[in-house]
Amino acid sequence: MKLIYGLIAIFAISWVFVGVADAQTYKMYVQKMPPHWQKSFGDILDKAIQFWQQKNPGLVIEKIPYQDQADFVLEWASQYDSGKLGYYSSNTQNEYGKPKLTITLGYFKDKKWNLVSPDYALEITKHELGHAIGLQHSTDPTDIMYPQIENYESWLASKAPTKMTNQTKPVDWKAKATTLQTNSDKKLYSTQNSINAIAPFVNSTWATNKASQAEMKKAEEHFFAAKKYQSDAKILQAQADDLFYESKYSESYQKYKSSLDRAKKIDSKILEIKKSLKKANSLEISK
């Protein structure tokens, strides 16, 4: 199950501060967290607030008891919006009548309920709170305000301690990074060819009825998503190469993995494009 930011979202964490336009006070109404989540997640909001206030000493984020006086509202959720772990919207057409950020603390997978890691939830809270105080998405994949994160399983794996063999032999990160570099290079070359091959067909101008036009719109959306994944993967690959040549093999391995993970997502987008193209064509023929 892929768990992503709400417009969104990580990644190797970077503490680069994007910058609030004008230091000011924001008033936030916070929905009460369910008691059974308090033990695991009770302090993540305070930590997220502290994170941004430390990055900008003139900033104040104040929790207030009445929602009608708030600049925005924070709510806690489970499996929000089909699995998204975080979401911010400036739309006030909701039960609060205020801009709202939602943080998901648990999700279903294989019919089993799971809580996310508190550290993971904290990163999501930081990202969405950043939006609430006026920050936009970053184009740097290592930035806290970058719009997408790795799936939860990959994030957990990247945080797990390195296992040692029975002889306590250290991991050969150079060899692992070299192998992954090769695999990532091949995948990026393959996905670029796939994108180039299908690009001429992603053109909705030939569609003449609403149903086929709707399918072509889907194809275009998947195409732009595929191109975004490819761009992100290339950026991460270049960063991994820099780390490799600096002999930072463990860090470069994680970057290569992130690059490869993004490139692999392109395959599903290409399949969706082909499905929409086929359906659009059949709708035109049968009209």
Q: Residues 249-258: pLDDT tens digits?
A: 888 888 888 8
pLDDT band at 21 (very low <50, low <70, confident <90, very high): very low
- Please state, in angstroms and rounded to a whole number, the distance separating the CA atoms of residues 250 and 259: 14
Q: Residues 111-137: pLDDT tens digits?
A: 777 788 888 888 888 888 989 988 888
More confident residue, 120 or 44: 44
Mean pLDDT of the chain: 80
- Please state, in angstroms and rounded to a whole number, the distance separating the CA atoms of residues 242 and 268: 29
pLDDT value of residue 3: 39
Q: Indicate the domain borders of the chain.
A: 25-159, 173-286
CATH code given to domain 25-159:
3.40.390.10
More confident residue, 285 or 13: 285
pLDDT value of residue 198: 92
Q: Residues 56-73: pLDDT tens digits?
A: 888 899 999 988 899 999
3-state helix, strand, coil in the chain (%, to 5): 55, 15, 35
Q: Measure Cα distances from 30 to 46, 68, 72, 129, 202 in Å.
A: 11, 12, 9, 12, 44
Q: Is 151 helix (H, G, I), strand (E, B) or coil?
A: coil
Q: Is 103 helix (H, G, I), strand (E, B) or coil?
A: strand
At residue 153, does pLDDT exceed 70?
no
